[in-house]
Amino acid sequence: MGDTVAAQAERIASDFLLEKIKTSYRIIGKGIVNQVFVVETENRKVVVRMNDSAAFPSYVKEKWCIEQAAAIGIPGPEVLTIGVIDETAYMIQAFVEGDNGADSTVLKTDVWRQLGKYAKLIHSIPVKGYGENLIDPVHGEFHSPSHAGSDGSWLGYVQYNINSLTENDRLIELRVINQTKSQRVRKLFENLKKERFRFGLIHGDISLKNTIINQSGQVILLDWGNAEVRTVPHGDMIWLMRCHMLDGNPNMEELKAFVDGYGISAENLADMRHLLLLSAFDNLRWAIDRNPDLIESYAAFAKKVVELMMD
């Protein structure tokens, strides 16, 4: 199977570059969702990312995000082309020389500080709408699909999570909350409806593994597959707080460097805990409905956030 996929990556690159392929190899461990190959000809070196055809809209979004980010000074891999062939969606990017941020010898706090600066710039990119699907690249409009209990809007998202706090809530059965805490959470979520938030583009997966550090020490940002329009600066910050709580990566010093780079006040940071709780509950409800294998780990995390805020 691996050889077949490699051959397909070579064929896609060869058809685009119109050159004979000299060598190729797979990048293991850095692209969880996509099959990722480096393909080399006599004159060029490119990265070919592949997935099934349903991923094509995600590649359209990634290309758009990389180009918008580059326009405001955030370096990323140049997207040479995207397309679909034989039920396979693909993206060809120029190869970026350097070390993956997770493996680089550059001081990690320096990288995180730079990522904080990038995040602030990303949040300034003009966008419309709300959600994870880029429906209009010309106007930068995003959309969130509706589902049972939510119309796909921000207020719909909050209201769905309020309405789910019932006496027969699975979160009570899973011991994430009890009836008393459920009432307290309801008040916190009701208050969120009254707050005025700014909505902006977030990267959605800021991490060292999604960076390349080149020879001059420049931080190059990769992988925009999780980009969406959310509340800012909260969206990216909540993701990092979640990563920190789950596996200590980023650690406290690195998280502080990111916050310093962004310029978020300690007060703003404290306000984000309510949104972290909302996100943890929503993810757990998604797992209950769609992915039972994740219920246990998502419930453990939601419980951790409840304890952080209420005990």
Structure confidence at residue 143 as a pLDDT band (50, 70, 90): very high
Q: Is the pLDDT of residue 1 over 50?
A: no
Locate 229 and state its tokens. 């329009």
CB 129 within 8 A of CB 135: yes
Q: What is the pLDDT of residue 266?
A: 73
Cα-Cα-Cα-Cα dihedral sign, residues 203, 206, 209, 214: positive
Give the mean pLDDT of 224-236. 95
Give the mean pLDDT of 201-220. 96
CB 256 within 8 A of CB 281: no
Provide φ and ψ at 49, rounded to 5°.
-105, 135
181: which residues sit within 8 A by CB, 6+ positions away? 306, 310
Locate 67 and state its tokens. 């180009």
pTM score, whole prediction: 0.93
CB 62 within 8 A of CB 79: yes
Strand duo 128-129 + 141-143: pairing? parallel
Give the mean pLDDT of 101-110. 95
| CB count in 10 Å sphere of residue 43 | 8
CB 200 within 8 A of CB 192: no
Mean pLDDT of the chain, nearest integer: 94
- pLDDT tens digits along 162-185: 999 999 999 999 999 999 999 999
In sequence order, what are the beta bridge partners of 131? Answer: 229
Structure confidence at residue 148 as a pLDDT band (50, 70, 90): confident
Could you say which DSSP state residue 26 is in?
Answer: E
Q: Which amino acid is at 104?
A: S
In sequence order, what are the beta bridge partners of 220? Answer: 212
* Percent share of the chain, pLDDT over 70: 97
Give the mean pLDDT of 98-120. 96
Structure confidence at residue 311 as a pLDDT band (50, 70, 90): low
Q: Is the pLDDT of residue 214 over 70?
A: yes
The radius of gyration of the chain from alpha carbons, rounded to an integer in Å, stands at: 21
The angle at the Cα of 252, spanning 247 to 258, to the nearest 5 degrees, equals 105
CA 38, CA 99: separation in Å to the nearest integer? 14
Q: What is the pLDDT of residue 263?
A: 95
Locate 294 and state its tokens. 């994740």
In sequence order, what are the beta bridge partners of 37? Answer: 26, 48
CATH architecture, range 2-96: 2-Layer Sandwich (3.30)
Structure confidence at residue 31 as a pLDDT band (50, 70, 90): low
Q: What is the pLDDT of residue 271?
A: 76
Structure confidence at residue 268 as a pLDDT band (50, 70, 90): confident
In sequence order, what are the beta bridge partners of 79? Answer: 93
Q: Is the pLDDT of residue 307 over 90?
A: yes
* Percent share of the chain, pLDDT over 90: 89
Structure confidence at residue 76 as a pLDDT band (50, 70, 90): very high
**Where does residue 210 rank: exposed (0-12), middle (13-18), buried (19+ CB within 10 A)?**
buried
Could you say which DSSP state residue 210 is in?
Answer: G
Q: What is the pLDDT of residue 149?
A: 85
Nearest to 55 by CA among 303, 248, 302, 224: 224
Query: Would you kindly state where each structural domain of the chain is located, as residue ranges?
Result: 2-96, 100-310
Top CATH class, 100-310: alpha beta
Examine domains 2-96 and 100-310 and report if their fold is the same: no
CA 77, CA 71: separation in Å to the nearest integer? 13
36: which residues sit within 8 A by CB, 6+ positions away? 26, 27, 30, 47, 48, 49, 50
**Where does residue 139 rank: exposed (0-12), middle (13-18), buried (19+ CB within 10 A)?**
exposed
Give the mean pLDDT of 267-280. 88
